[in-house]
Structure 1
Amino acid sequence: MAHSSFHKFIFGFCTSLLIITTLSHGEIGLPSEEHVSLFIFGDSIFDAGNNNYINTSLRANFRPYGESFFKHPTGRFSDGRLISDFIAEYANLPFIPPYLQPGNHQFTYGANFASAGAGALVETSQGLVIDLHSQLSYFERVRESLTKNLGEEEANTLISRAVYLFSVGGNDYSYIFGTNSSILRTQSHREFVGTVLGNITAAINEIYKKGGRKFGFLSLGPIGCHPALLVFQQPAGKIGTCREKLTEMAQIHNKAISEALHALEIKLEGFRYSYFDFYTSMSERLNNPTKYGISNICGSSSFLFQTKLSCFIC
């Protein structure tokens, strides 16, 4: 079944996170007395509803979003749970709410800063999203709140034991192609990837300086086959055709960030990470949906929407 296959795919990533973080202090699935918090950064793959609270059209606050699990739209770009929700469940944590959601959050379980459409670059969909730099600013506010509420020693312990999840970068590449940006006339693809990667590694280093040590990353998916690109941003006669140059940039990015993470592990004392090959996993499912029990892609959006597949254009 599709959902069983999806759970196995998530379980593999979660298990690797459990290994590097000792979330369960022994057996996977058992609650721990000292939980490990999750701090979540990125785009629509992880956005649990932050965009509902900013002035943007990039929202998932209408059906069919949320219909298969929550039974109503929550702001998640899925009809069910997100990858980060499954990770929280496997770690015996509650779903991590969006940072901007009103309420008195203590943040002892973590916070979700992700914003649909956001990139590593401030310029990506500027004014419509919470870019990575702004997400880091929110994290600093949370850190200050934890210090105030828990005391410096306990807050530092929480920060150092926490897991920092990232899914970011794809929108930076989709944006420059979708807006016919002139940036690739002055930079090669590899140079632009280097700029995006530089912002991501800067964010990692910033969190590391604050005490963060344990990180989880998704590689970019096959973004050149994003349905919005296939249908709405293609020249006449090209509708339904993947944009190979965009997918190539994702592949360059994935190779570069894998190498960068390995270098950081060598350079930064105590730095540990889990890296999931989202590209290969989702390409396999997109190319062979029936193999995984998916006969109606639109009807299986809880499984496939995490690759930014939208029912509305099927």
Structure 2
Amino acid sequence: MAKQLINALLPLVLVLFILTEVAEGTKKSYGVYKSKYEKLFVFGDSYVDTGNFIHSSSYKIPYGITFPGKPAGRFCDGRVLTDYIASFLKIETPTPYTFRKSSNQQYGINFAYGGTGVFQTLVDGPNMTVQIDSLEKLIQQNVYTKQDLNSSFALVSVSGNDYTAFLVNNRTLTEIKSFTESLINQISINIQRIHKLGINKIAIGLLGPIGCLPSINRVTFHLACVDILNKIPENHNKILLQNVSQLNQRVGKTVFGTLDLYNAFLSTIETMKKKHEEDPSLMNPLEQCCKGEDLAQTCGKVDDSGEVKYSLCDKPELSFFWDNVHPTQNGWHAVYTLLQSSLHQLIS
């Protein structure tokens, strides 16, 4: 009887053993879902910062209410572009550089810092050159090997704050052409340096339509983008695209790719705007979800007694802009969806 029971159970045991081995093998190798890019290194500003600027409003309520449910250092109610690029590569979001000593560095490092630029736009914030310096130091310390870098992907999203600083400094628009040329020249130097450190795939975000930002379009009562200011990113992007093409020709392969944030923003805004016109109860995509009561319209601001000095829209998940300049998680997801074809093209 015992022998018959063993003979009956043996095939089942063998099947369970095989299934266990397959499951373990899948767990270790991720099977067909494994990406060849195992690490992500991020350089830039608040559009891709996931927690480095610890003294910013991004660490105050209501930031992070959608994800992870509390303020976490993202200039958003939830996920930002970095999170979606990481998910595209099928890895976890890389650790912010500020927390590198207390967090896992397995999936790369995020050096981006809100408010910074290609040049020095903040008194104490690391510009792009300093951010790359930080990666170089980690390489010198053997935190990342040559093999690590060869299987890494870099994301660059920068220059919006450079133009803001340019305009705030009361310079005339007649000087902007030479400023753009110097800006893109420095971006070129920086991305070539990232490549020389060993990273062979680098995605550079084009400049978004700054005339559509709520901080700007409020002069139209959030009814339309300020088209004249969108000429700045249009010209910037045209020169940057030419520059990237020349760099790839020089290298002899596609190392550098661009992510068209400009048209992805415009396309998403236009789609949402049509829906809003058809159904006014839906959120106007040119209006921010989180509004401050003061002229600066500071999201998250409270007075000395703790009284809230901002208001929130009913459904952040239906809005495009979170605050004056940053998209919501919903906005970033829509933009990322439109960028996926460019990402596939870059990594193929």
CA RMSD of aligned residues (A): 2.9
Cα separation, 1, equivalents of 2:74 and 2:63: 7
CA contact (8 A) 2:47 2:326 kept: no
C-alpha distance in structure 2 between counterparts of 1:201 and 1:134, whole Å: 15
Structure 1 position 257 matched with structure 2 position 228: no
Residue 181 (str. 1) matches residue 196 (str. 2): no
Tell me the TM-score normalised to structure 1 length.
0.74
Deviation at 1:261, TM superposition (A): 0.7
Do 2:119 and 2:127's aligned partners in 1 also have CA atoms closer than 8 Å? yes
Q: Secondary structure at the match of 2:229?
A: helix
Matched, 1:143 2:145: no
**Counterpart Cα distance in 2 of 1:184 and 1:134:** 28
- Provide the residue aligned with 2:125 in structure 1: 129
Deviation at 1:310, TM superposition (A): 7.0
Contact 1:65 1:72 in 2 (8 A): yes
- Deviation of the 1:173 alpha carbon: 1.0
Q: Deviations over 1:87-143 (max 9, x none)?
A: 212322111121012634453311001111111112x2x215321111111111222
Count matched residues. 265
Distance 1:258 1:303, change over 3 A: farther
Paired letter, 1:304: F
Q: C-alpha displacement at 1:59, in angstroms?
A: 3.2
Q: Tell which deviates more after alignment, 302-311 or 268-277.
A: 302-311
Partner of 2:44: 42
Contact 1:43 1:114 in 2 (8 A): yes
Matched, 1:274 2:257: yes
Aligned to 1:194: 181
Return the letter of the residue paired with 1:257: L
1:31 equivalent to 2:34? Answer: yes
Letter in 2 for 1:278: L
Contact 1:79–1:302 under 8 Å retained in 2: no
Q: Which whole-Å CA distance do the structure 1 matches of 2:151 and 2:51 have between them?
A: 25
Q: Give the Cα–Cα distance (whole angstroms) in 2 for the partners of residues 302 and 137 of structure 1.
A: 39
| Structure with greater Cα Rg | 2
Output the TM-score relative to the length of structure 2: 0.68
Equivalent residue, structure 1, for 2:316: 300
Which residue of 213, 218, 228 corresponds with 1:226?
Answer: 213
The superposition leaves residues 223-276 of structure 1 with CA deviations (integer Å, 9 ceiling, x where unpaired) of 122222345xx7xxx765754443211111111111111100001245523322
1:204 alignment partner in structure 2: 191
Q: 1:99 to 1:183 in 2, by over 3 A?
A: farther
Q: Does the 8 Å CA contact 1:78/1:302 hold for their aligned counterparts?
A: no
Note the C-alpha offset of 1:291: 4.9
CA distance in 2, matches of 1:70, 1:292: 28
Q: Partner residue of 1:11? A: none
Distance 2:58 2:157 in 1: 18
Structure 2 residue matching 1:50: 3-state secondary structure: coil
Letter in 1 for 2:260: D
Instruction: Call closer, same or farther: CA 1:121–1:302 in 2, change over 3 Å.
Output: farther
Matched letter for residue 188 of structure 2: T
Give unmatched runs, 5+ long, in structure 1.
Answer: 1-23
1:192: Cα distance to partner?
1.0
Residue aligning to 1:83 = 81
- TM-aligned CA distance change 1:133 to 1:85, over 3 Å: same
8 Å contact 1:45–1:308 — kept in the other structure? no
- Report SS of the residue matched to 1:288: helix
Residue pair 1:216, 1:273 contacting (<8 A) in 2 also: yes
Identical counterparts, % of pairs: 27
